[in-house]
Structure 1
Amino acid sequence: MIPENQKVILLIDDDLTVRKLLTFHLQKKEYKVLEAVNADEGYKHLKSAHVDLVLCDVSMEGMDGFSFCKMVRQDENYRVLPFIFVTAKSSLEDKQEALDVGGDDIVTKPFDVLELMMKIQALIRRADIYKAYTVKKSLEQSTSPEAARILLIDDDNSLARLFQYNLTKAGFECKTANSASDGFTLAKSYLPDIIISDIMMPQIDGFQFRKMVMEDPDLKNIPFIFLTSKGGEDDILEGYDLGVADYVLKTAGPRVVVAKVSAIIKSLGKERQKVVSELHRAADTLRVKVVPESFPSFEHYSIKHWHMPYKGVPGGDFIDYFNLGKDSLAIILGDVMGKKWGAWYFAIAYAGYVRSAIRLVLENSANYSPHEILDKVNRSVYQDAKISEVFATLSIIIINNKTNVLQYSGAGDLPLIYKNISTGETKLLTSKGMLLGFTAEGFFEDLTVQMNPGDIIALFSDGIIESRNPQGVALGTDSLAKLVDSIPRYIDPHEFLKIKLTEFTANKFEDDISLITIKANG
Structure 2
Amino acid sequence: MNKIILLVDDDIFQLRLFEKLLTSNGYNCKLALSVDEAESILESETPDLIISDYEMPGKDGFEFRRRLLTQDSFKNIPFLFLTSVNDKENVQLGLDLKAIDYIAKNTPPSHILSKIDNLLQAVREHYERSLSEIKGIAERLNLRNIPKQAPLLKKFKIDYFNQSFDNQPGGDFIDFIQINERFTFIVLGDVMGKKWGAWFFSFSFLSYIRSAIRLCVYDDNYSLREILNKLNRVIHDDELLSDIFSTLGIILLDDQSGSVMYSGAGDLPILKFNQKLTELQSFKSDGILLGFSEFGNYSEMEIPLDVEEELYMISDGMIDFEINGEKKSDINLFKEKLFNFKQNKETTQAIKNRLFDKHISQVDDCSIIIIKKV
The separation in 1 between residues aligned to 2:350 and 2:87, in whole angstroms, is 67
Q: Deviation digits for residues 202-242 of structure 1, max 9, x if unmatched?
A: 45555555555556665554444443343444444444444
- When the two chains are superposed, the root-mean-square deviation of aligned CA atoms in Å is 3.5
2:176 equivalent to 1:314 = no
The separation in 2 between residues aligned to 1:282 and 1:441, in whole angstroms, is 37
User: Per the alignment, in what secondary structure is the counterpart of residue 519 of structure 1?
Assistant: strand
User: Per the alignment, in what secondary structure is the counterpart of residue 129 of structure 2?
Assistant: helix
Judge conservation of contact 1:279–1:341 (CA < 8 Å) in 2: no
Q: Deviation digits for residues 94-137 of structure 1, max 9, x if unmatched?
A: xxxxxxxxxxxxxxxxxxxxxxxxxxxxxxxxxxxxxxxxxxxx
The separation in 2 between residues aligned to 1:490 and 1:329, in whole angstroms, is 31
Tell me which residue corresponds to 2:3.
Answer: 147
Deviation at 1:334, TM superposition (A): 1.6
Tell me which residue corresponds to 2:212.
Answer: 357
Tell me which residue corresponds to 1:511.
Answer: 364
Q: Deviation digits for residues 37-93 of structure 1, max 9, x if unmatched?
A: xxxxxxxxxxxxxxxxxxxxxxxxxxxxxxxxxxxxxxxxxxxxxxxxxxxxxxxxx
Tell me which residue corresponds to 2:85.
Answer: 230
Equivalent of 1:371, from 206, 212, 225? 225
Judge conservation of contact 1:420–1:456 (CA < 8 Å) in 2: yes
Aligned ranges 1:358-507 → 2 under 5 Å: 358-365=213-220, 367-420=221-274, 426-467=280-321, 476-483=330-337, 485-486=339-340, 494-495=348-349, 497-502=351-356, 506=359
Give the length in aligned residue pairs: 374
Aligned ranges 1:114-193 → 2 under 5 Å: 146-155=2-11, 157-179=12-34, 182-183=37-38, 185-186=40-41, 190-193=45-48
- Of the two structures, which has the highest relative contact order with CA contacts closer than 8 Å and spacing of 6 or more? 2
User: Per the alignment, in what secondary structure is the counterpart of residue 386 of structure 1?
Assistant: helix
The separation in 1 between residues aligned to 2:252 and 2:300, in whole angstroms, is 10
Deviation at 1:445, TM superposition (A): 0.8
Tell me which residue corresponds to 2:185.
Answer: 330
TM-score, normalization by structure 1: 0.62
The separation in 1 between residues aligned to 2:89 and 2:279, in whole angstroms, is 78
Distance 1:262 1:517, change over 3 A: closer
Judge conservation of contact 2:171–2:199 (CA < 8 Å) in 1: yes
The separation in 2 between residues aligned to 1:300 and 1:227, in whole angstroms, is 65
Deviation at 1:301, TM superposition (A): 2.0
Tell me which residue corresponds to 1:49.
Answer: none
User: Per the alignment, in what secondary structure is the counterpart of residue 450 of structure 1?
Assistant: coil
Tell me which residue corresponds to 1:280.
Answer: 135
Unaligned stretches of 5+ residues in structure 2 = none
Judge conservation of contact 2:2–2:26 (CA < 8 Å) in 1: no
Unaligned stretches of 5+ residues in structure 1 = 1-144
Amino acid in the other structure paired with 1:514: S
Relative to its length, the structure with more helix (as a share) is 1
Deviation at 1:373, TM superposition (A): 1.6
2:143 equivalent to 1:299 = no
User: Per the alignment, in what secondary structure is the counterpart of residue 239 of structure 2?
Assistant: coil
Deviation at 1:159, TM superposition (A): 4.0
Structure whose CA Rg is larger: 1
Judge conservation of contact 1:357–1:373 (CA < 8 Å) in 2: yes
Deviation at 1:256, TM superposition (A): 4.2
Tell me which residue corresponds to 1:268.
Answer: 123
Deviation at 1:383, TM superposition (A): 2.2
Judge conservation of contact 2:151–2:178 (CA < 8 Å) in 1: no
The separation in 1 between residues aligned to 2:326 and 2:88, in whole angstroms, is 51
User: Per the alignment, in what secondary structure is the counterpart of residue 272 of structure 2?
Assistant: strand
Distance 1:220 1:479, change over 3 A: closer
The separation in 2 between residues aligned to 1:360 and 1:295, in whole angstroms, is 22
Amino acid in the other structure paired with 1:149: I
Decide which moves more: 372-381 or 407-416: 372-381
Amino acid in the other structure paired with 1:433: G
The separation in 2 between residues aligned to 1:472 and 1:209, in whole angstroms, is 28
Judge conservation of contact 1:154–1:197 (CA < 8 Å) in 2: no
Judge conservation of contact 2:262–2:301 (CA < 8 Å) in 1: yes
Judge conservation of contact 2:8–2:34 (CA < 8 Å) in 1: no
Distance 1:306 1:219, change over 3 A: closer
Judge conservation of contact 1:150–1:172 (CA < 8 Å) in 2: no
Judge conservation of contact 1:337–1:343 (CA < 8 Å) in 2: yes
Distance 1:150 1:294, change over 3 A: same
